[in-house]
Chains A and B, each alone.
Chain A
Amino acid sequence: MAWYVDRAARVLVFVGGISAIVFIIGIFVFITKEGLDFVLGPLSLGEFFTSIAWRPTSNNPTYGALALIVGTASVTGFAMLFSVPLSLGAALFIAEFATGKTRETLKILVEMLAAIPSVVWGFVGMSIMNPLIIQIFDVPLGLGVLNAGLILGLMAAPIMTTIAEDALKAVPDTYREAAEALGATRWEVIVKVVIPASRNGLLAAVLLGVGRGFGETMAVLMASGHAINLPTSVFDSVRALTATIASELGDTVTGGAHWGSLFTLGILLFVVTFLINLTADIVVRGIRKK
């Protein structure tokens, strides 16, 4: 009897085990299924990647996603510009310098930063940062690359900090002790020993941060201004790939070309985040091999 229960449990647990694979394949299959008609029909790759005319609702619809791609890239890029150094710095401080209470408090604050829902971040962008940016820089509109980028940077920071800290912690203490025994200061140990030893983990942390920023939806939708536009300054409004899906899907006819075009954007997002995560995984595996 116990043997049969054991068998049954083993099967059930295995089914649960492979569920994550089933769902990932399911996601790919279902968004491809809905987007396929569009990909094989109205989609012209040349137009998709080189035109900025995203006019899916006009009588003569055009589907140029360049402005959306640039929008996502500019906001994510701006976010990473300040978020990567800050997050890595914070990870170094938490892992190498902070002790006891300070360390616990900082870790909890970073966790709180990660817990704030994206719709609240978007609301903060609209209602707190927008007037601040207008006032400080004397510009007519505070919703744009700057606003969305700042928010996105703060949203991506916790994941980068946490993973970078894990990578730093994974460096064996014997390495540090050996360097310290040779007379190196904490700072020298970090620069000469800890960072080189955890390089791959830090790179993976940055990659996952980029993936997080790239896929963020609500905050970017609310804080970026949502105007189709190739930005020339950080105050310009832009529109992101994710935000386009979120704002337009509700108004489309199920199964129509516009509908299919939004699922095609979804396929693009899925493929890019998949590649980012895969790269991060391979990079991390690189350290374990050594």
Chain B
Amino acid sequence: MFTATPLNRRSYRNQSLAKAVFFLMTVVLVIPVLLIVGTLVVKGAPAISWEFLFTAPTDNMTAGGIFPALVGTIWLVVVALLASVPVGVAAALYLSEYAPDNLLTRTINLAIINLAGVPSIVHALFGFGAFVLFFRMGQSILAASLTLAVMTLPVVIVATRESLQAVPQAFREACWNMGATRWQTIRKVVLPNSISGILTGVILEVSRTAGETAPIMFTGATAFVAFLPEGVLDQTMAMSYHLYYIATQATNVPEELTFGVALVLIAIVLMMNAVSIGFRVYLRGLKKW
């Protein structure tokens, strides 16, 4: 018969105590998310209307809507994706399908970690020095988007590499045995089996790109333009920079308006994240192997 000794009881008390303490710590960490989103919704919701979303700011930013900033953010994200997704997927393909375990591969991995770890304002300095000045793009959507693309490249690489590596090795071997080349195997077997995972990463990148401010401040975002961008060499407004500008630089902006902008920005970002997470959970359910 098992009877609990005082020592057993103390151990179990310690265990329950530890569990409770760690649970509390987790809650303290995640509660702010709910508080912040809640506050933004309560204070920002009154500002949101069709008119707010589809008109330009007026009266020195103290009234009107956010349409040019929304359109600008879409431009920035699309151009950044066009640049970073092909490069990022190629990098992940190299790392997962070709790279031997050598010094070069280790250096690439270290470079990816560093690219993700370099402060966003340093990316901004790089974007200014390289794209705006050296490659003479000027302050433009192109320069800003390329800066964002370099900065978010690790997101695509890491997500893509993970989904490529989730494809069982046996799939590749079966294909090689049929006489297929490495590239044929990648195109017909590896990519089709991992495309949805790659897509999840791309959506995550959209969410990241849309929220960044520092990298676009000096490379292409501007406080106010009366017209919508017509090409990649125009400057543009952007949601994130617009929020920074009306929160710190502009004067007499009604509180409700600023909260409205913050709410729209966080809604875009969190929605993209939710889609990405939902997609991932759905895929896990589908998995055939």
A contact set with B: CB distance below 8 Å: 2-3, 5-6, 9-10, 12-21, 23-24, 26-27, 30-31, 33-34, 85-87, 89-90, 92-94, 97-98, 106, 108-113, 115-120, 122-124, 126-128, 154, 157, 161, 185-188, 190, 208, 211-212, 214-218, 222, 242, 245-246, 249-250, 254, 262-263, 266, 269-270, 273-274, 276-278, 280-281
Contact = CB atoms under 8 A, between A and B. Distances in A.
Nearest to A285: B106
Contacts, number: 282
Contact of B89 (A16, A127, A249): A16
B192 interface: no
Given A117-B212, A273-B119, A97 B269 contact: no
Contacts of A222: 244, 247-248
Contacts of A98: 26
B94 interface: yes
A111 B277 contact: yes
A134 to B, nearest CB: 16
A188 B110 CA distance: 35
Given A10-B182, A116-B266, A20 B115 contact: yes
Contact of B213 (A6, A18, A21, A118): A118
B121 A274 contact: no
Interface stretch (B62-70, B126-134, B165-173, B229-237): B126-134
B125 interface: yes
A57 to B, nearest CB: 18
B269 A117 contact: yes
Shortest beta-carbon contacts, A-B, top 3: A16-B90, A117-B211, A215-B119
Interface of B: 11-12, 14-15, 18-19, 21-23, 25-26, 28-30, 32-34, 36-37, 39-40, 86-91, 93-95, 97-99, 104, 107-115, 117-126, 128-130, 133-134, 150, 153-154, 157, 181-184, 186, 207-208, 210-214, 217-218, 240-241, 243-244, 247-248, 255, 258-259, 262, 265-266, 269-270, 273, 277
Nearest to B16: A187
Given A16-B91, A90-B25, A119-B243, A113 B30 contact: yes
8 contacts: A13-B94, A17-B93, A34-B133, A123-B258, A154-B32, A187-B14, A218-B213, A270-B118
Contacts of A217: 119-121, 213-214
Contacts of A266: 121-122, 125
B18 to A, nearest CB: 4
A214 B120 CA distance: 11
A258 B108 CA distance: 34
A216 B269 contact: no
A13 B26 contact: no
Contact of A30 (B12, B134, B218): B134
Contact of B125 (A89, A254, A262): A262
Contacts of B273: 111-112, 115
A252 B153 CA distance: 29
Q: Which of A26, A123, A126, A280 has the most CB of B within 10 A?
A: A123
Contacts of B129: 30-31, 33-34, 263
A109 B30 contact: yes
A245 B247 CA distance: 19
A20 B105 CA distance: 11
A119 B215 CA distance: 12
A23 B115 contact: yes
A273 B90 contact: no
Nearest to B34: A109
B113 A281 contact: yes
A93 B25 CA distance: 9
A13 B148 CA distance: 21
A24 B269 contact: no
Contacts of A154: 29, 32
A246 B245 CA distance: 12
Contacts of A3: 181
B129 to A, nearest CB: 4
Contacts of A124: 36, 39
Contacts of B22: 89-90, 92-93, 97
Q: Which of B37, B91, B259 has the most CB of A within 10 A?
A: B91
Contacts of A218: 120, 213-214, 244
A90 B26 contact: yes
B110 A281 contact: yes
A25 B153 CA distance: 15
